[in-house]
Amino acid sequence: MSHHKLEARNLSYAYPDGQEALKNLSFTVTHGEAVGLIGANGAGKSTVLALLMGLLFPSEGQALLADVAITKKTLPLVRQSLGLVMQNPDDQLFMTSVYDDVAFGPRNYQLTESEVAARVAGALDLVGIPHLRDRAPYRLSVGEKRCAAIAAVLSMQPDILLMDEPTAGLDPQARRRIMNLLNSFSHTKIITSHDLDMVWTVCRRVILLKGGTVAADGPAEEILTDARLLESCGLELPLSLQNCPSGQAR
């Protein structure tokens, strides 16, 4: 049994006002996969992430990690193996220095201060920002903030990384750096994004959502090159593929 197996089983979720966000949604992600979770605004991407992380609980169905249902009881364990990088780093980096922020998680798991220091140093090295350790998060550039937010999750040493729009608002070079970083991770990854070129570069598999259900689930080569399918779900072909329908631009 792998800790890396993450499953959504017949998930449904309705907001308190009755609006249905997810309808009977199922998929399984296994060890080492890099999955792009795509869909138009309001398709339910963020809700899926929230359900997987146990921030919300489904009205029907189950989210399972390693075949164990994600419930209030199993949350502490679940959150040790799942790391979510939020869309807005300003929400995620709430401490006054990068170091304290990256150390926040390990400290909550009662590690000794020397272990914490090792974890922080390791995480900052991994994302390439050891020089920013004493800086205030709000004084960083958007790209640096994103790196710091990823480091804050990596320091918890999760098995699976969930990322909400990791390239939003980045300039081209910063975006490229984040993409290289993501490719260098051996973690199981689930990435939501509208940046289909990034998904094309980073993810082998794509799950396409439409109106709270799975519209398609398969290899990126198939889904991201299917202009008609993408259009019916409110998306477009990745820019790099728009003039080469055969999809050989990769």
Partner 1 sequence: MRKESHYIDNLRLLELLARQKSVIHQMNPLVKLLTTVIYVTVVISFERYEFSALLPLLFYPALVLAFSGTPVAPILKRVLLAQVFVIGIGIWNPFFDTYPVMFGGLSVSRGWLSFLSLILKSILAVTALFLLIATTGMERTAQALRMLKIPKIFVLQLLLTYRYITVLLEEAARMTRAYALRAPRQKGIHRSAWGSFLGQLLLRTVDRGERVHEAMLLRGFTGEYHTGAAAGAGLRDWAYLAGWGLFFILVRAYNLPVWLGTLLTGAMIK
User: Judged by CB, which is closer to partner 1: 84, or 223?
Assistant: 84
CB of 176 to partner 1, least distance (A): 26
Residues 28-55, buried b or exposed e (16+ Cβ, 10 A)? ebeeebbbbbbbbeebbbbbbbbbbbbe
* Per-residue contact flags (x/-) with partner 1 for residues 57 to 76, judged by CB under 8 A: -------------------x
User: Judged by CB, which is closer to partner 1: 72, or 228?
Assistant: 72
What is the enclosing helix (H) or strand (E) of 5?
A: none
* C-alpha distances out from residue 114 to 63, 94, 153, Å: 35, 22, 18
Please provide the distance, in angstroms rounded to a whole number, between the alpha carbons at the two ends of the chain. 34
The residue type at 232:
S
Residues 114-133 that bind partner 1 (CB under 8 A): 116
User: Judged by CB, which is closer to partner 1: 59, or 94?
Assistant: 94
User: Judged by CB, which is closer to partner 1: 55, or 244?
Assistant: 55
Residue (of 195, 207, 154) closest to 171 by Cα position: 195
- Interacting residue with partner 1 among 70, 86, 129, 199 (CB under 8 A): 86
- Per CB under 8 A, 91 contacts partner 1: yes
User: Judged by CB, which is closer to partner 1: 106, or 238?
Assistant: 106
- The answer to whether 61 and 11 have CB atoms below 8 angstroms apart is yes
Binding site for partner 1 (CB under 8 A): 53, 55, 76, 79-80, 83-84, 86, 88, 90-92, 94-97, 100, 103-105, 107-110, 113, 116, 134, 136-139, 152-153, 156
